[in-house]
Structure 1
């Protein structure tokens, strides 16, 4: 049984149908890329799954439980985490304190004054940081980190509630090629080790084809194709609507083979 099931999802803004009755599923231990040209409905779909936008029609179920109508915090407590296109961390806090804040929230103690936040589950925070290669920088302020390291901290924060589903919005935006590959390789390892399901949007096709297990492609609010990278690369409708001649896919395929 799929972890996430999306059926008949629809959303309009005024007279514009941003998302038009799309269906897809996502299994535990799978990394699924959501791609499409600008205006395809990717962000709208992504934000409906997260609860930031309420759909006009359709169903979003996590392990059979309906998410439609729930607030983002309630969805987070059910085991759905997310990262953002622009990394969201507290720059004035240390690396470990950022993760501790997420652990406080996961433990329903965000506003508790019963003991200093800096003492809360520090060992657990350090373990999460070790998983993303940031334990040695635990006591540095986030404000002095390189951007690629900030994205790693954000990933550790997202893992604080032991998620079943991780939503990643443009995870490699603003990153150099080496940083992109390191972050996605790390994400892929977490998918395998934890049986984590990941849904991510991404404009970098080298990242998509190197790391996604499957792809779903939107155009003008409709799902036009879904399948494994090789199937999508050769899909005539995708090449026509999304890539024009399909030359972009050919370049990505060549680069992926060269990297392998």
Structure 2
């Protein structure tokens, strides 16, 4: 049964159709990669699912509940988490305080600062950090962390609302190969343990082919292919969009093995 169902989704900016009638489904416990060349409509699709943009047409349903027309905060409270291409944390706060701020927001107590944030659900915040391997650094300022660790903190923040669906926008951008694989292996583990779904965009094809259960490919706002990684790798239309004629993902040096 599908957790997320997107039907005939469309969005235009002036006369440009950024997203033109795409449809797809995503099940719990599944990692779905949304890929495509620059200008394909990936970010627009993401922002419509997250509520930052309102679709011109179509439907986005989470567990049978329509998301179009709802604000990002409401969508977040329905169980949709998100990480960003550039990790967003409060650099002046400690690692655990960043997670506590997310818990405050989820509990709708972000404006009730009569209680010290440092005391708020600390054990719950520490448990989230433990899941991403950051418990030992809980009391360090985020400003002192390596970038790969900041991305782990961001992931724990995204988990603060116990998401059914996690949106990850270029999760491994700016990371070294070892860090990329470690973060995606962790994400895969959390998906399995929690039974949540992940929709992610990614330019590193080694990450996509190693960790995605399925892939959907956009070009000029339209869905041109959907299927398992090996099916997409050999899809002639996808290869044409990415490389033109005569090249494949393998010839372009894409790593197709595991982590």
What range describes the TM-score normalised by the shorter chain of this pair?
Answer: over 0.9
Structure 2 spans left out of the alignment, 5+ residues: none
Q: Describe the SS at the equivalent of 2:87.
A: coil
**Contact persistence 1:206–1:252 (CA under 8 A):** no
Higher helix share: 1
Matched, 1:166 2:166: yes
Q: Describe the SS at the equivalent of 1:8.
A: strand
Q: Which residue of 1 aligns with 2:210?
A: 210
Partners of 1:113 and 1:102 lie apart in 2 by 14
How big is the shift at 1:111? 1.1
Partners of 1:27 and 1:191 lie apart in 2 by 11
**Contact persistence 1:8–1:58 (CA under 8 A):** yes
Partners of 1:19 and 1:232 lie apart in 2 by 20
**Contact persistence 2:33–2:212 (CA under 8 A):** yes
Q: Which moved further from structure 2: 236-245 or 22-31?
A: 236-245
Q: Equivalent residues in 2 for 1:1-260 (5 A)?
A: 1-245=1-245, 247-251=247-251, 255-257=255-257
Q: Give the alignment's TM-score, normalised by structure 2.
A: 0.97
How big is the shift at 1:255? 3.0
Q: Deviations over 1:151-185 (max 9, x none)?
A: 00000000000000000000000001110000000
Q: Give the alignment's TM-score, normalised by structure 1.
A: 0.97
Partners of 1:8 and 1:134 lie apart in 2 by 40
**Contact persistence 2:169–2:200 (CA under 8 A):** yes
Partners of 1:247 and 1:205 lie apart in 2 by 15
Q: Describe the SS at the equivalent of 1:109.
A: coil
Structure 1 spans left out of the alignment, 5+ residues: none
The number of aligned residues is 259
Partners of 2:141 and 2:15 lie apart in 1 by 46
Q: In structure 2, do the counterparts of structure 1 residues 50 and 179 end up closer, same or farther at CA, with 3 Å as the change threshold?
A: same
RMSD: 1.3
How big is the shift at 1:249? 1.3
Partners of 2:68 and 2:254 lie apart in 1 by 41
How big is the shift at 1:246? 6.4
